[in-house]
Structures are given as C-alpha cells and as structure tokens.
Structure 1
Amino acid sequence: MLRVHFTAEDFARVRFASRPAPLQELHAALTTAVTPGGGPLTVPWRARVLRSLPAASGPLADLVPAGRPPSFLDVLGDSLADGFERIRATGPGLVRSELERVYGAVRGVPHWLRGLHEGDETAWHTLYRAQRAAYETVLAPVWSVVQDLHREEFARYALTAAEQGVAAALTGLAPAGRLHEGVWEWPGATPDRDVRLGGRGLVLLPTFHHPAGPLLQDAPGRPAVLTYPAGPGFPLAEGRAVAPAESLAAVLGRTRLDALRLLAEPHTTSSLARALHVSDATASSHAAALRAAGMVTTTRTGRSVTHLRTALGTLVAGRSACGLSGGSGSDRP
C-alpha cells in the first residue's frame, strides 16, 4: 500500500500537470513493455513494441537492470528535449550514487555507463539518442492521442475538484483509495511505502501506458510527483477510427466547434458571424449554447457584446483548434 501523508500546506499545493511529460510517458511505456503479464491489450502491444524498438534505444535497457531505474530519470518536462535537459542538470553526485545503487550487485557494467558515471559528454549524448530513438518508435505515432487523453483526464479531475473538493478528486484516482486524517491510501500499490510531503506539495501526472499502479517520485526539496494509470487502455493509433476533432464535431456540431475554436480570441457577435459565414442571430445562438455549457463567457460594453473562450472551453477544444473548416449555417449543433 502507498500512504501519502499531507499537511494543510500540502493540500493547498496539490496540482495537476497541465501537459503530459514525454519522458515520463516513455519510461512508463518501456516499463510496461518489459514487465511480464497484463491484460489482452498488453500482450500484442508489448510484442509490437519490443519487435520495433531500434538498436539505438538499447542503452535504455542498460540503465534499468533488474527493473531498478536510477531516480534521476524521473523528471517532468513539456518536451523530450526539456525532459532531457532536466536529467542532464542532475548533480554529478546523485548521478554517481544512483548508478552505484542500481549496479551495486550487477557485473559487467557497460562501457558507456562508466562514462556517464564520470560525467562524459559522449555518454550523455548516447542516453539522449537512445531516448529519442525509443520515443520516435513507441510514442510519436500516438502522441496526439496521449495529449487528447491527458486533456480529458485534466478536465475530469478539475470538475471533480470543483464540485466535490480535492479529497474526492484524489480518492477518485485510486481504486478503493481513501483519505483519512491527512493520509491518502492507495491499496495494492507495491512496495509498501510511506511518503511524507512535509509542505512540498504533490503533482499529479496521468499515464496511459502503465496500467499496473502508481509511480511516485520523491526527490528531496521538490514537490513529489505521482504518476498514476488513467484512460481506457493503450492509446493505439490504429484503434482510433475517428479523429478526436471529428468526434468532437459530432457532439457539438461543426459550426459550434468552429465557434469554440475562434473564441480563443475575443469576438463580438458580428465578427464571430462573419468568421463563421452565418447570420448574427445564428452566431449569438451558438455563443449562448457554449456559454450555458461553461465554455464561453460573454461581456457587454454598451450595445456591444464580446465572447471569449473559458479555460474549460480551451480544454475541450484542445489542439484541434487549428485548421477551421469554415462551416456553414446549415450545420446543426
């Protein structure tokens, strides 16, 4: 069981990662790929991943003998390069101590890892090249799907926290989880572990490639990061017969979706109507429907009204906000 001990200050510092972290998602995927077992989706996915990994990604396996990765690999970062820079910024003392911990009982340490232990730039380049090769094979084909799933999970968590409070949002992440007297319990997590936040706060990061349980980073002096399994299953590119934007258009209607995209910038009713090629009355109707759903705000100045997308509207629109269709007024919401 995982037990996370909160102070009052920690509850005020719980936050949800605004974007998926490519390196964390990659490490979760590779951990799942080399771990036996899993459900009916895992076996064919694992076979495909292991079969397709290029030779250049091999050093990543060297880093994780017996499934014990060094802690300096656990970083956030909005891009692969950003994540690697955070790894590269790890103090040499921690790099050496973690490599010694991981390889303490392992014979035959690879030559490039000896270079990493000594701070050799060529060894660091070997690590980055391996991460890049693995990312391009495992995650790049489905990264847009991961981003969509992350936005959905973000919105779900945000709505639960807004309607029911942080405690309900936290316990909803863990099957049979509970929060009691400041201790958040995640049953079934291994190894049995107690983590005391001590005012550092907690960052929540969903992963869509590690269905087995939570992964917790607890670096001294930093907010703890809990990576937890989320989503309906592996984000398989070939399993998405309908593109996310098309699915959203089927729910909102093409013109209303275009209106939501346009309202990333403020528009009056008449300017929105011109951009959508519809009447002012139709544009006003679409804005009113989006406002009722909490996705748009409307402010009045004299006889003019201005519409603008809310944070919820941005979450719903996501990255599909580029490439408007120029829908016609005949579309139905």
Structure 2
Amino acid sequence: MLSFHFETGDFARVRFPAKPAPLVELKLSLMMTRRSDSAVVFGRWRRDVNHRLPPTTRPLWDLLESHRGPAFLDPLTSDLEEGLEVVRSTPGAVVRSDVAGLRRLPSPWVKALMARDTQAWEILDRGLRDAYRSVMGPAWTGVRERHSAEFARFALGSAEHGVAAALSALYPTSTWQASTWHIPAFHTREVHLAGRGLTLLPTFHWTYEPLIGAWPDRPPLLVYPAGPGLPVPTTQPEGDPLADVLGSSRARILRLLARPHTTTELATDAGLSLGTTSSHSSALRRAGLITTRREGRSVQHLRTELGRMLAEAGLSFHD
C-alpha cells in the first residue's frame, strides 16, 4: 500500500505539469523493454524497440533494470535539451547514491560516471540522445496527445469536484482515510508531504505500480501509469485534428489568440472578413474557449485556459 499523508496546505500545492517529461518517459519505456510480463500486448513492441536501438545505447543497460533505474537519468523537465543538461550536471555523489540502489555491481563505465570521467559522460549523453530518437521520436506525438488529455481530465475534475476527488479518479481503487490517500500496491511506502505538496506525472509506457520520487527540498513526485495500457502508436494521424473538430477557420483563430487581438487584427491575421471573424469569435466565446472584453472603442479577444489546452493539444499534429 502506498500512503500519501496530506496536511491542509498540501491540497493547494498539488501540481500537474502541462507537458510530458521526455527523459522520464524514455527511461520508463526502456525499463519496460526489460520486463517479460504482458507479452501478448507488449511483446511485439519490445522486439521492435530492441531492433531499432542503435549500438550507442547499449551502455544504458548497465544502469537500467526491469523495475528500477537511477533517478538522475530522468529529470522532470518538459524540454529534452534542458533535461540532458540537468543529467550532465549531476554531481558524482548523487550518481553514486543512485547507483547504490541497483541490484548489480557497477561496470567499469558506470564507475567512470561516478568519478565524473568526461568520456563516460559523453557516452551517456550520446546513448540518451540516440535512445530518445529511436524510441520516443516516433511515439512522441502520441505521448503529447495523451498527456494533454490526462492533464485536462485532472484539471477539470479538480475544478468541478475538488483535488481529493480528482486524485481518487486517477486510481479508482484508491481510498481516503481522513487526509491520507491510499493506493493499492505490492510494496508499502509512507509519504508525508509535510506542506511540500505533490507533483503528478502520467506515463504511457509503464504499466506496473506507480513510482515515487522523494527529495528533501522538493515536492514528492508520483509517476502513475495512465492511458489504455497499450504501446503508444508510432504513426502520426494525417491532417489537423483541431481543425477537424472546430473547422479550419476557428482552429486558426484559436491559435492566433495566444495573444490578445482586436476583431480587426484577428480578421487580418486570419485572412477572413470582419463579419466572418465576428461570427467565429462568438461561437468560440459561447463554447468557453475565448473571452472578449471592451477596451475603449475596440474589443480584445483572448484564449481562455480551456482554449489554450485545446489549442496546445492540437499542436502535436499541427507543428
């Protein structure tokens, strides 16, 4: 059983990143390839991934096991380059501490990592880059799409029913006892949030129990399996799904309203007439996707948070 002990202020400090973390998803997908369960669902995916991984990624297997891997490999950043920079700057003491949690003796290459050997860290950087390109690159559109849907589900659930209910919805089998959230698991762990809050991150390759990251100076991290429990598709749908739902003109307007526009400016940037722009803006406003306010003799249109989430979900395909 995993038990998260909330204090009063912790509910206000529950955080859900708006974008997925590339290195977290990469690490968990690589760990998933080392497992042997769910062969019917993941067997073909594992064979395909192992076939695509280039030789430069082989040193990573000195660090990754089927159910654990060093925490320094997967910082919680939404930008790949930023994450790789965080990895490269990991102090040797942190590497030694993380490696000590593995069930194997460190290889000579891992020992060189712990000693901050320059060549060893270049091998790690190359391995992570090539692994991301081979494994995450083809699936990243699907990961972003699923993350956006999960983010919206939690945000809307929190707004409508409260944070505790939204947390329960992540795990329908979880329970609350007073201010403690219990998640069924094979192992036992007590996590006292102590006013630091909790960061939630869905993963779409990992299908085992949730993983917990804990640091003395940061909120604990709960990485939980989400989605249908199937490999993320590696094919990108054709077209623009946002335009399929809203129509191309309204999708274009919603994307333009990442910054305020007057009706005239919006018509010019969207390449539409004033009357057509006004009609589309009214429809988007009624749907709660944009807001309109008067400033002097003109009006200003801007996306709402719901509009932003919808527009950014479509960016996975549009960009």
TM-score by length of 1: 0.88
Question: Is 1:197 equivalent to 2:199 in the alignment?
Answer: no
Q: Hey, what's the Cα distance between the residues in 2 that align with 1:40 and 1:215?
A: 24
State the shift of 1:49 in Å: 0.7
2:258 to 231, 254, 264: 264
1:75-90 correspondence to structure 2 within 5 Å: 75-90=75-90
Where 1:179 maps in the other structure, the secondary structure is: strand
**Structure 1 gap segments, 5+ residues each:** 325-333
Aligned AA for 2:196? R
Determine the C-alpha separation between the residues in 2 that align with 1:71 and 1:321: 30
Distance 1:34 1:323 in 2: 30
1:15–1:54: structure 2 CA closer, same or farther, 3 Å change rule?
same
Instruction: Name the CA shift for 1:190/1:59 in 2 (closer, same or farther; >3 Å).
Output: farther
Give the letter for the 2:36 counterpart.
P
Q: CA deviation at 1:65?
A: 4.6
Aligned to 1:327: none
Residue pairs, 1:80-119, within 5 angstroms: 80-102=80-102, 106-107=104-105, 109-119=106-116
Please name the residue that 1:8 is paired with.
8
Greater displacement, 39-48 / 123-132: 39-48
Tell me the percent identity: 44
Q: Write the distance in 2 (CA, Å) between the matches of 1:7 and 1:323.
A: 41
Verify: 1:316 aligned to 2:310, yes or no.
Answer: yes
Question: Deviation at 1:260?
Answer: 0.8
Distance 1:274 1:27 in 2: 46
CA offsets 1:60-114 (integer angstroms, 9 cap, x no match): 11012564322333421122232233233333323223323425xx35x421111
**Match 1:163 to one of 144, 160, 163:** 160
TM-score by length of 2: 0.91
Q: Distance in 2 between matches of 1:216 and 1:69?
A: 12
Alpha carbons of structure 1 residues 91 and 275: separation in structure 2 relative to 1, 3 Å:
closer
How far 1:282 moved relative to its partner?
2.2
2:52 is matched by which residue type in structure 1? S
Alignment of 1:106-145 (within 5 A): 106-107=104-105, 109-145=106-142
Of 264, 275, 283, the residue aligned with 2:277 is 283
Distance 1:27 1:120, change over 3 A: same
Q: Is the 8 A contact 1:32 1:210 kept in 2?
A: yes
Contact (CA 8 Å) 1:74, 1:217: kept in 2 or not?
Answer: no
Q: What whole-Å deviation, never above 9, does each CA across 1:118-156 have from its counterpart, x for those lacking one?
A: 221222222111111111100012222222222222111
> Is the CA contact 2:95–2:114 (under 8 Å) kept in the aligned structure 1?
yes
Q: Specify whether residues 170 and 51 from structure 1 end up closer, same or farther in structure 2 by C-alpha distance, changes over 3 A only.
A: same
User: Residue type of the partner of 1:87?
Assistant: V
Residues 198 and 89 (structure 1), Cα distance of their counterparts in 2 relative to 1, 3 Å cut: farther
Residue 17 of structure 1 pairs with residue 13 of structure 2:
no
Number of residues of Structure 1 aligned to a counterpart in Structure 2: 317
Aligned equivalents of 1:186 and 1:322: distance in 2?
A: 32
Between 1:121-130 and 1:265-274, the stretch displaced more is 265-274
Q: Distance in 1 between matches of 2:315 and 2:58?
A: 37
Contact 1:272/1:283 (8 A) holds in 2: yes
Q: Which residue is equivalent to 1:71?
A: 71
RMSD: 2.2
**Counterpart contact for 2:293–2:301, Cα < 8 Å:** yes
